[in-house]
Amino acid sequence: MNNTEQSITKKHVNTQYLSAERVAEIVNKRGLSACIAGVASYINQDFLRWNSFDKCARVASHSDVGVIELMPIADDKSYAFKYVNGHPTNYRFNLPTVMAFGVLADVETGVPELISELTLTTAIRTAAMSAVAARALARQECKKMALIGNGAQSEFQALAFHHLLGIEIFHLYDVDPAATDKLQANLTQMGLKFQRFASIKEAVKGVDIITTVTADKTNATIITPDMIEPGMHINGVGGDCPGKTELHADVLRMGSVFCEFEPQSRIEGDMQQMPADFPVTELWTVLSGKQVGRSDEAQVTIFDSVGFALEDYSALRFMRDVALELGMSEKISLIPSLPNPKNLFGFIADNSHSTAMVLPPLSRIAPAFVS
């Protein structure tokens, strides 16, 4: 084996591991708004390389109460996937609606180089994505945003829109007043201004941007046409699954609709309510200057967000890079390190605490096979 081969083998022996606690530590050290801005910048870079990626709609397994999804994507260097669920009634078990983890792997060898929590990171990347879209689509001077749905994602959305869009005041509404109490306390701690409202209609009146980030596995009509004012930008985050929408179909007809990856958004986004030829624009074409985003001040723009694998690829890259920069990387042995890659069997003996590998009789291990 020559030196290059040896160094490749050595480099790939361990997998970098980012636990939820480690990611929280990284966010504390770097600052949450800096992380959101950093992920937004990685997303922007990766969306400009749209055609370098092998893309597909995520693979979803639905049940009556939720969904479990796998989200793969690759370019010629790295492969990424995210495991994520969406269970709006998980509060019954004191569990979050959305939980996730993911992997970044080396395309040349298939080695999983990073395994990371993605629950916290998903909230950061979703807020970053919302801000990237709003910067391209919303009016220049936006000061007020309604935040409908005050659960786990909401603080991240508020912080992204405050720091990256200049939103000064947030109008809050949630069917669960305790969720708004929690958001209110966290926004106060962050020094952000807000007002609470008793209905969605009152909360959205006079704002520049509406963010809907509710969780309910139903065709909800959180936003109806009578609530829409000229020039508004709608950031629809919670309608992200078949049979789970937030915007009345006529709202979509009132403006220009933008999405992440059209084949996935047609199935999962609010646009699932529309016919197959309903016009939508993929955001990457606006970011790269191929298509116009907002054409005038009075136009209504709608970002029909569902969450796309490329955003997680960007977020995984960001967290890996920051962890390395801060010297906060932990390594785990996920893949056996083999002196002879064809002798996987030998790995068992190499890690045995007894001197000989004693095989118990087959009748004890698998009685069904010998009876």
Ligand X SMILES: NC(=O)c1ccc[n+]([C@@H]2O[C@H](COP(=O)([O-])OP(=O)(O)OC[C@H]3O[C@@H](n4cnc5c(N)ncnc54)[C@H](O)[C@@H]3O)[C@@H](O)[C@H]2O)c1
Q: Is there binding between residue 216 and ligand X (CB under 6 A)?
A: yes
Q: Is there binding between residue 240 and ligand X (CB under 6 A)?
A: yes
Give the closest residue to 69 by CA, choosing from 59, 57, 80. Answer: 59
The greatest distance separating any two alpha carbons of the chain, rounded to the nearest whole angstrom, comes to 79
Chosen residue from 99, 134, 237, 247 binding ligand X by CB under 6 A: 237
Least distance (Å) between residue 148 CB and ligand X: 5
Q: Is there binding between residue 72 and ligand X (CB under 6 A)?
A: no
What is the distance in angstroms between the CA of the first residue and the CA of the last residue of the chain? 48
Helix (H, G, I), strand (E, B) or coil at 131: helix
The pair phi, psi for residue 338, each rounded to 5°, is: -120, 120
Any residues with CB less than 8 A from the CB of 38 and at least 6 apart, and which? 30, 318, 322
The count of C-alpha atoms lying within 13 angstroms of the C-alpha of 350, restricted to the half-sphere facing its C-beta, is 10
Which tokens hold the place of 248? 């009345």
Q: Which is nearer to ligand X, 44 or 122 (CB)?
A: 122
Q: Is there binding between residue 121 and ligand X (CB under 6 A)?
A: no
Q: Is there binding between residue 102 and ligand X (CB under 6 A)?
A: no
Contact 196, 169 (CB under 8 A): no
Chosen residue from 184, 214, 265, 272 binding ligand X by CB under 6 A: 214
Chosen residue from 16, 78, 122, 264 binding ligand X by CB under 6 A: 122
Catalytic residue flag (residue 174): no
Residue nearest to ligand X (CB): 151
Q: Is there binding between residue 97 and ligand X (CB under 6 A)?
A: yes
Q: Which is nearer to ligand X, 77 or 92 (CB)?
A: 92
Other C-beta atoms closer than 10 Å to the C-beta of 356 total 7
Give the closest residue to 130 by CA, choosing from 106, 164, 88. Answer: 164
Binding piece for ligand X, criterion CB under 6 A, among 138-146, 283-291, 299-307, 324-332: 299-307
Q: Is there binding between residue 306 and ligand X (CB under 6 A)?
A: yes
By CB under 6 A, the residues from 159 to 178 that bind ligand X are 173-176
Helix (H, G, I), strand (E, B) or coil at 304: strand
Given 46, 240, 270, 304, the catalytic residue: 240
Contact 112, 335 (CB under 8 A): yes
Which tokens hold the place of 217? 């596995």
Chosen residue from 215, 232, 309, 322 binding ligand X by CB under 6 A: 215
The count of C-alpha atoms lying within 13 angstroms of the C-alpha of 309, restricted to the half-sphere facing its C-beta, is 28
Chosen residue from 38, 66, 72, 86 binding ligand X by CB under 6 A: 86
Binding piece for ligand X, criterion CB under 6 A, among 19-27, 29-37, 209-217, 349-357: 209-217
Number of residues located near ligand X, criterion CB under 6 A:
29
Say how far apart CA 288 and CA 241 lie, in whole Å: 27
Least distance (Å) between residue 129 CB and ligand X: 6
Chosen residue from 133, 152, 164, 227 binding ligand X by CB under 6 A: 152
274 sits in which H/E element: none
Other C-beta atoms closer than 10 Å to the C-beta of 85 total 18
Q: Is there binding between residue 25 and ligand X (CB under 6 A)?
A: no
Q: What is the DSSP letter of 44?
A: H
Q: Map residues 245-284 to x or -, x wherever contact with ligand X holds by CB under 6 A.
A: ----------------------------------------
Contact 84, 153 (CB under 8 A): no
Q: What is the residue whose two structure tokens read 């990766």?
A: 46
Q: Is there binding between residue 179 and ligand X (CB under 6 A)?
A: yes
Least distance (Å) between residue 220 CB and ligand X: 5
Write out the residues near ligand X by the rule CB under 6 A.
86, 88, 97-98, 122, 126, 148-153, 173-176, 179, 213-216, 220, 222, 237-238, 240, 305-307
Active-site amino acid positions: 240
